[in-house]
Amino acid sequence: MSSAAIQDFYPDDTSHCFGCGRLNSEGYHLKTRWNPQHPDETIAEFVPRSYHTAIPGFVYGGLVASLIDCHGTGSAAAAGYRAEGREPGTEPPLRYVTASLKVDYLKPTPLGPPLVLRGRIAEVKGRKVVTDVSFSVEGVETARGQVVAVRLPDTMA
């Protein structure tokens, strides 16, 4: 298990995602890792900017959805390598895109502290990975999501 983020292993030509691509200079650069404290959990953090507002004082729901989406595809890639018994960085590279995204907003998310995303792999089947994501701020879960991700054809990755 590496402490590098899964997104650091995405091939250059699939590293421009606004949410998590290391080569998108305007983007969020979300980083998804296996959690060293909980080996079956993926984790990512993001500090929202002051303008990521919904109702003043709370985080814009579109940002919540976006981060869950990218953490879901990142978790899918991490789970894909694990399912194949190999490390990120080995060939062929694995890269997933979202087939469907569901977000339940449980309560308003306060704007300011880091946003924490924790993923649990619900299913790995063929080219599909399903990840359940818990979204929290300072230990309080404010949203829950599920991301169904499918593997890009090798020819695109």
Contact set with a second copy (CB under 8 A): 13-14, 16-19, 21, 24-27, 49, 51-56, 60-63, 65-67, 69-70, 97-105, 108, 152, 156
Q: Would you tell me how many other CB atoms lie within 10 Å of the CB of residue 79?
A: 26
The tokens of 45 are what?
A: 């953090």
Q: Which of 84, 78, 97 lies closest to 7, judged by CA?
A: 78
42 vs 66 by CB, closer to a second copy: 66
Per-residue tokens: 84: 């194949």
Please report how close the Cβ of residue 59 comes to a second copy at its closest, in angstroms.
9
Q: Taking the complex as a whole, how short is the minimal distance between the CB of residue 139 and a second copy, in angstroms?
A: 22
Which residue's CB is nearer to a second copy, number 97 or number 124? 97
CA distance 153 to 93: 10
Shortest distance, CB of residue 130 to a second copy, whole angstroms? 14
Instruction: Report the Cα–Cα distance between both ends of the chain, in Å, rounded.
Output: 22
CB nearer a second copy, residue 101 or residue 116? 101
C-alpha distances (whole Å) from 115 to each of 46, 51, 137 are 5, 15, 5
Nearer to a second copy, 37 or 155 (CB): 155
